Chains A and B, each alone.
Chain A
Amino acid sequence: MSESTPSTSPERHRLYWRKNLSCLAILLTIWFVVSYGCGILLVDQLDKIRLPGTGFKLGFWFAQQGSIYVFVVLIWVYVRYMNKLDADFRENGDSGSAND
């Protein structure tokens, strides 16, 4: 049983929420860059490069396949990060944890 900060203290919640938000900000930035950036806005420029060893133009590949792979990885990373964050915050104390 934890005798230090109870797991329901507002500052721990705030810290948890901040970590949650910064995780989201990073992942959503990647989401945007890969789909809208590589697949739409920069697609013509990227098409000048070929994915090595294949017949894929890079922009076209991002738009039709690559972005989807990245999406799957993004959710995976999110799940792992949040499960760890939840576990850290369920344990007692340690609100200033160094596990980043």
Chain B
Amino acid sequence: MFLAWSAIQLWTLGIVGLSFALYIGIAIYTRTSKRSEFYVAGAGVPAVANGMATAADWMSAASFISMAGIISFAGRDGSVYLMGWTGGYVLLALLLAPYLRKFGQFTVPDFVGDRYYSWFARLVAVCCAIFVSFTYVAGQMRGVGVVFSRFLEVDVTMGVIIGMAIVFFYAVLGGMKGITYTQVAQYCVLIFAFMVPAIFISIMLTNNPIPQLGMGGTLSGSDGVYLLDRLDGLSEELGFAAYTAGSRSTQDVFFITMALMVGTAGLPHVIIRFYTVKRVKDARMSAFWALLFIAILYTTAPAVAAFARTNMITTVSNKAYAEIPQWFKTWEDSGLIAWMDKNNDGIVQYTAGAPFGTVSGDSKLLPHFAGATDDAAARGPHGQRLLTNPTSEGTNELYVDRDIMVLANPEIANLPNWVVGLVAAGGLAAALSTAAGLLLVISTAVAHDFLKRVIKPDISEKGELLAARVAAFGAVIIAGLLGIFPPGWVAQVVAFAFGLAASSFFPAIIMGIFSKRMNREGAITGMLVGILFTAGYIVYFKFINPAANTKDNWWFGISPEGIGTLGMLFNFIAAAIVCKFTAPPPTEVQAMVERIRVPEESA
């Protein structure tokens, strides 16, 4: 069987296999029977390691594979993701991390439940945490399956199952401790895998080995023409907007960016990463390390986006299919590129506009091929795969899946085969690390926040740990099923997760720390108002009436992706109003707030 595999596939198998062996080794080394280790890694993780783990936990398959692709097609508008997914760390570091560490319990619902002295608040928090984490994890498991299928020609389902098995192993054995140290290893793999092609391509295109600088540099082999200027020019020639110009409205960009930043600071799987360090000052320092490690990728990604877009336009646009580079055909075989020769001239025209029509039943534009890759009858006169999609107006003939921009980069740049294997391992590391963090939130929400704190407070440590492991197992199965049978709405639901985190957790925790007066009634009202408003808006525009999802129908011109910001404001306002008319928190709670605000006593 292996003899039929290409060199690329063997390299991929080798490197991915090695990385998996590493994760399993760490899992065995960190297996635990202590509750504190399962939930918060014994609160003994050093700040740098915790920063690396947080970075890997944060950077999912989306950050690794899709983000550069999204930016390469969106140009300046893609900045919402860059700023939105990093700026939240400033909020975490300054407004949340040190206080939650001082609070010292295990989870976010712990804080909400204790601070607002209410089992109902805790329950709302538990439901939110579980919902947010499940929606997020569905995308991750799917990502794992997709990477396997793209690189190893393993069926997506099999890929998801393998991913599930690996995550299950180190999450259930070692809990947070196992997850944290595996994430450290995964960060190393993913950052190396992301940077190697980026550096090579930066050298190729601009003679500068530092992608961040190369992006602003001049094209090699030209006389002082800046890359970005050339890219702007190429884009406009083909009928696209200039790469460095934006097309979304300013207020929408503002609201989306804020929803992402605030949502980041409200995501349970990110917040719990700050419970695992030794002391408050380590919590702050670890936030610094986390953002530094994240920034390495996030400042490289826009460079990769610009390089990939330039490369793609120059190597593909107006080229005859017969002479097109091999990577084009390889990815066409995988279904990520499609060409409909509208004018029958054998030349690939790439311009703005849809290359073909959407097939009814698809939620977005997808190519439907007439036959399998080895079906000679399903190939056109130039050897291209034929499509069954309806045709469309406009000159554009080319469909390119955004994920290509990272996945195909090594091949576009003619990099050696092991780099391709490395990219596969990196994408898997990113997806698995995030999935593990999310699964842990779900399992602790069920075993600790729900079972122990609400239902059966006298449960023994062994019992609670067993429940946590069983819950982790159950969560892995459900996540796997969502990955194998993804509901069509997976991508939309991630925006949902951010919107909910922004409109429910973030305000509740902020008010809990910075206001001694905020009470149970106010906080619960605020959370419910925020959640219901945000959920209602998103569900209406994304599920009930997607045809109405256009600028004219949005409130204040804010898209569903940005509505979490408004939900957050409504949360604050509702909470403040209700709080004014209801009793202040009991003195023990006010004392607790005092306690988490003061500096630690020295050891």
Contact = CB atoms under 8 A, between A and B. Distances in A.
B584 interface: no
Interface in A34-55: 35-36, 39-41, 43, 47, 51, 54-55
B299 A69 contact: yes
Contact of B216 (A27, A61, A76): A61
Contacts of A47: 244
Contacts of B217: 54-55
Contacts of A54: 213, 216-217, 226
A36 B257 contact: yes
A56 B230 CA distance: 12
B598 A64 contact: no
Majority DSSP secondary structure for residues of B touching A: helix
B288 A72 contact: yes
B227 A72 contact: no
Interface stretch (B58-66, B84-92, B472-480): B84-92
Nearest to A31: B90
Given A13-B598, A16-B599, A63-B82, A40 B250 contact: yes
A51 B76 CA distance: 16
A74 B288 CA distance: 9
Contacts of A68: 82-83, 86, 295, 298-299
Interface in A52-94: 54-57, 60-61, 63-65, 67-69, 71-72, 74-76, 78-79, 82-83, 85-86, 89-90
B229 A28 contact: no
Contacts of A95: none
A63 B228 contact: no
A55 B216 contact: yes
Given A31-B87, A54-B226, A65 B299 contact: yes
B602 interface: yes
B83 A28 contact: no
B439 interface: no
Given A41-B254, A55-B229, A64 B216 contact: no
A51 B216 CA distance: 9
B302 A65 contact: yes
Contact of B599 (A67, A74, A78, A86): A86
A8 to B, nearest CB: 8
Nearest to B254: A40
Contacts of A89: 599
Contacts of A71: 86-87, 89-90, 291, 295
B95 interface: yes
Contacts of B87: 31, 35, 67, 71
A76 B78 CA distance: 26
Interface residue range, chain B: 35 or more
Contacts of B602: 90
A40 B253 contact: yes
B281 A64 contact: no
B76 A28 contact: no
A41 B254 CA distance: 8
Contacts of A78: 93-94, 284
A17 B217 CA distance: 46
B90 A27 contact: yes
B246 A43 contact: yes
Contacts of A57: 228, 244
A64 B106 CA distance: 35
Interface string B272-304: 000000001100110110011001001100100
A75 B90 contact: yes
Nearest to B230: A55
A39 B90 contact: no
A7 to B, nearest CB: 7
B600 interface: yes
Interface in B64-120: 71, 76, 78-79, 82-83, 86-87, 89-90, 93-95, 98
B54 interface: no
A97 B71 CA distance: 49
Contacts of A55: 216-218, 226-229
B226 A64 contact: no
Contacts of B601: 7, 90
Contacts of B82: 63-64, 67-68
Contacts of A74: 90, 94
Given A13-B594, A65-B302, A68-B295, A56 B228 contact: yes
A97 to B, nearest CB: 14
Contact of B291 (A7, A51, A75): A75
B83 A17 contact: no
A43 B95 contact: no
B517 interface: no
Nearest to B261: A35
Contacts of A36: 254, 257-258
Contacts of B295: 68-69, 71-72
Nearest to A12: B598
A79 B290 CA distance: 13
A51 B33 CA distance: 55
A98 to B, nearest CB: 19
Contacts of B213: 54
Contacts of B284: 75, 78-79, 82-83
Contacts of B594: 13
Contacts of A90: 599-602
11 contacts: A16-B597, A28-B94, A51-B216, A54-B226, A57-B228, A68-B83, A68-B299, A72-B291, A82-B98, A85-B599, A86-B600
Query: 10 shortest A-B CB distances, which residue pairs?
Result: A55-B226, A54-B216, A63-B79, A86-B599, A56-B216, A64-B302, A55-B228, A75-B288, A60-B244, A75-B93
Given A17-B598, A75-B284, 11 more contacts: A54-B216, A60-B76, A67-B82, A68-B82, A68-B299, A71-B86, A71-B90, A71-B295, A72-B291, A75-B288, A79-B285
